[in-house]
Amino acid sequence: MSYYFKHNYVFTDHGLQRACERLNLNKENMFEAKEHCMKLIDKSTYEFHTTNHIYIRVGKTEIFFVINKLQNLIITVTKMSVAKQLEVIDKDL
């Protein structure tokens, strides 16, 4: 028996493009790129929250998925230093 699993998050076009660029994924097969990103999110051990966003780290890198809380929408994938993380938390960006 098989079943379909629906992920909690969906991608914006910009978010998917940035994920492919930052994570060096194959842009030809977007379905596989999305699945790879979802696995990275599921395996993540570090995240932090602000009022409007969730920031989920990719492995032990400085790359984060930025997710809109209200829409469960992956907005972008970006590199964030520790100083930038503190700034985001302090300013509640």
Tens of pLDDT along 25-37?
877 788 888 888 8
Domain over 10-91 is classified CATH 3.30.2310: yes
3-state percent helix, strand, coil for the chain, nearest multiple of 5: 35, 25, 40
**What's the pLDDT tens digit per position in 25-84?**
877 788 888 888 888 888 988 889 889 999 999 988 899 999 999 999 999 999 999 999
What are the boundaries of each domain within the chain?
Answer: 10-91
The pLDDT of residue 6 is 54
Short-list 82, 69, 59, CA closest to 9? 69
Mean pLDDT throughout 19-29?
Answer: 82
Short-list 74, 52, 73, CA closest to 64? 74
CB 41 within 8 A of CB 57: no
The pLDDT of residue 55 is 93
